[in-house]
Amino acid sequence: MSFLSIEISRRFRTQLRDKRNIHYLRQSVVTTAMETVSIVSLKPPLQVTLICGLSVIVWLTYKLFKHLRERSLNIPLWSDGSHACHRWKLIAIITHTAYCNVCESLIVDGMYCECCGTCADFGCHKKADNMFNCKTLSMAKSDPRIQSKQISHLWICGNLLTHSTCDVCGDDCDDESALVDWKCCWCQRCVHLKCLTDELRHSDCDLGKWRTCIVPPFCVIHKKVWSKGRRKFVIESMTNFEDESNWKPLIIITNRKSGNNDGDKILTIFRTILNPLQVIDLNETSIESSVELCEILSKTNKEITFRILVAAGDGTIGWVLNTIQKLKINPMPLIGILPFGTGNDLSRVLGWGQSFSFETSIDEVMNKVLNTRPIDLDRWSVKLSSNRSLGIPLPSKHYLMNNYFSVGVDALVALNFHETRKSRVYNYLFTNRFVNKFLYLTYGTKDLLERKCKNLNEKIILELDGKRIDLPELESIIILNIMSWGGGVDIWNLGNGAVKQKINDKKLEVLGVYSTFHIGQLMIGLSEPLRFGQAKEVKLILLERLPIQVDGEPWLQFPTTITITWNSFAKMLTTRSELL
């Protein structure tokens, strides 16, 4: 028995050892396989490629998820009755902390209303629609509040901005990690719960320090119409804000996709402090509808002047000016600029800066608007007529110019950039100022080698006020209306001997550029242009197909005769007293 027991024990230990060996073998195989696909074991180029690929996949997945969530929140500005729908937007929980106005819990995945500031998580937002009113946009004729010309405070609890102070006692508000204290979404006043008396809660709102810019809801009368089988609210009329003698309503125009989606932030900022009807998203509304308030008010009161703040580039500003001229609005609105484009030449000249920074507070922006002064801006007619002497019967075309016109190498660079910018991939992934400027530099360097506009003087005839100009060998002709070109270069005044330039003297400045390399020298102030002089009328005869641009909009133009003459004045807002 003892021998049998020993034999059984030996075999058992052998089998156990074999099983352990198999287990170790499996573990070794798995470990080896994992080490084989480890990022560390890969060569550096493959490591970079793999990490970049994974990063792009994660980023695209996030962008797609965010896009789908935001589309589900996109609702019309109007709703039944005179109240606006809550315009919900996703809360960036990484950078912002907020509490739900319904359940009062910390929001992990939720949204806020960009008009009134109400916050809700995804489980409570439908309740919030029923529990909390948003800003009143306008009123019907039968609404009794129209006669009183007053609105009450619209108090929203909690989620105040950092460093908010109580309007009653002057102490800091919202210094607790909870849903505390109150804010009126019309006048922007903040108060502690203990300071919010019944008298203050139900008192009339004076619209706060920006009252001269706000269109109160009792000034706008809406009506219901039927369009394509659906009920629609439209503005019927608009009356004067009689209690405010210095009333100059402010309209904000932008595209939420402009400036790497910076336009969307602008919409949110101004819908918070103004009537949401005054904040126009060109992605949802046409330019004609954007200036509808100006047109409606001008029919009833010629003494009220609107201010329009365009948060965009020079192209959109020209689009707005064209629409105002087309609609013949009198008095003409005053146009200010929040620069979101690449060059922003007109913004620089008028004192609005080279680009808008979100580090700038809304108080600074509004104070800038209030302290600006009106100034006239020359607008020029660019007429392209058929060049019959060349036997090419082409229809005439007409454009309006605010900044500058050019033909040659700089227009070619703009054309190449414009073709790239039309790509959907570029618009979705890479649209920002840095990439835009990099592309400009790339195309400029490319033309430096190719020189496609060489000997432009043999392909074009230039006349200033009827006098023909003898052209030297050059690659570009630039016609200026303002003191900025190419993203901030005061090209006319480089060097000595330049005649004073103005934006409202009904004169154009005409100059030439020798090459792309010459443009680079001009950009850093190491050279000066070839000045041909000033003129009230400029004529160019194109003998060959050449690239041209009007205010940054480029195309290839067949042989034609181009005549530039003064058209009209636009009313702009400037912060620079030396321009007046």
Residue-wise pLDDT tens digits, 327-365: 888 889 999 999 987 789 999 999 999 989 888 889 999
Specify the pairing of strand 460-464 against strand 537-542: antiparallel
* Overall average pLDDT of the 67-73 stretch: 57
CA pair distance 412, 326, nearest whole angstrom: 30
pTM, two decimals, is 0.83
3-state secondary structure of 393: coil
Q: State how far the Cα of 196 lies from the Cα of 189, in Å rounded to an integer.
A: 11
Of 257-261, 372-376, 469-473, 495-499, the poorest mean pLDDT is in 257-261
Q: What pLDDT sits at residue 13?
A: 53
Q: Given the structure tokens 């969530």, which residue do they identify?
A: 69
How many C-beta atoms lie closer than 10 Å to residue 150's C-beta?
13
Residue 32 has pLDDT above 70, yes or no: no
What integer is the mean pLDDT of 119-131? 88
Output the pLDDT for position 81.
43
Higher pLDDT, 29 or 511: 511
**Mean pLDDT (whole number) for 465-491:** 94
Average pLDDT rounded to a whole number, residues 478-482: 97
Give the integer Cα–Cα distance in Å for 329 and 544. Answer: 40
Confidence at 549, pLDDT banded by 50, 70, 90: very high
The average pLDDT across 73-88 equals: 59
Say which residue the tokens 């840095």 belong to: 434
Say if residue 510's pLDDT is above 90.
Answer: yes
- Higher pLDDT, residue 62 or 399: 399
Cβ(108)–Cβ(99) below 8 Å: no
- Determine the pLDDT at residue 497: 83
More confident residue, 303 or 499: 499
250-259, 309-318, 382-391, 475-484: least confidently modelled range = 382-391
Write out the H or E segment, with its range, that includes residue 573.
strand 560-574
Whether 386 has a pLDDT exceeding 90, the answer reads no
- In this structure, what token pair is assigned to residue 446? 């490319």
Reported confidence tier of residue 35, pLDDT bands at 50, 70, 90: very low
Q: In this structure, are residues 383 and 538 in contact, taking their beta carbons and an 8 Å threshold?
A: no
Determine the average pLDDT of the residues in 234-246.
84
Token pair 């060049």 is at which residue? 387
Given a contact cutoff of 8 angstroms between Cβ atoms, the answer to whether 457 and 472 are in contact is: yes
More confident residue, 544 or 438: 544
DSSP codes of every residue in 407-424 = EEHHHHHHHHHHHHHT-H
Q: For the chain, give the percent of residues with pLDDT over 90.
A: 43
Segment 157-173 mean pLDDT? 90
What backbone phi and psi angles, to 5 degrees, belong to 7?
Answer: -65, -45
* Tokens 């080698």 found at: 449
Instruction: Among 39-48, 81-90, 123-132, 530-539, name the one with the lowest average pLDDT.
Output: 39-48
CB 397 within 8 A of CB 383: yes
Say how far apart CA 454 and CA 296 lie, in whole Å: 52
Which structure tokens are listed for 140? 């019907």
Please name each of the domains of the chain with its CATH number. Answer: 217-371 (3.40.50), 380-568 (2.60.200.40)
pLDDT, tens digit (0-9, with 9 covering 90-100), for 137-164: 888 777 777 877 888 999 999 899 888 8
- 379 pLDDT higher than 70: yes
End-to-end CA distance of the chain: 119
Model confidence at 97, in pLDDT bands (50, 70, 90)? confident
Distance CA 313, CA 202 (A): 43
Q: Is the dihedral of CA 294, 209, 269, 111 positive or negative?
A: negative
Helix (H, G, I), strand (E, B) or coil at 28: helix
CA angle 175, 177, 183 (to 5 degrees): 55
Q: What is the pLDDT of residue 80?
A: 44
For the cut 50, the answer to whether the pLDDT of residue 34 exceeds it is no
Q: According to the model, what pLDDT value does residue 14 have? A: 52
pLDDT tops 80 at residue 546: yes
Close Cβ partners of 555 (under 8 Å, ≥ 6 residues apart): 415, 547, 548, 549
> Are 475 and 516 a contacting pair, CB within 8 Å?
yes
Residue type, 445: T
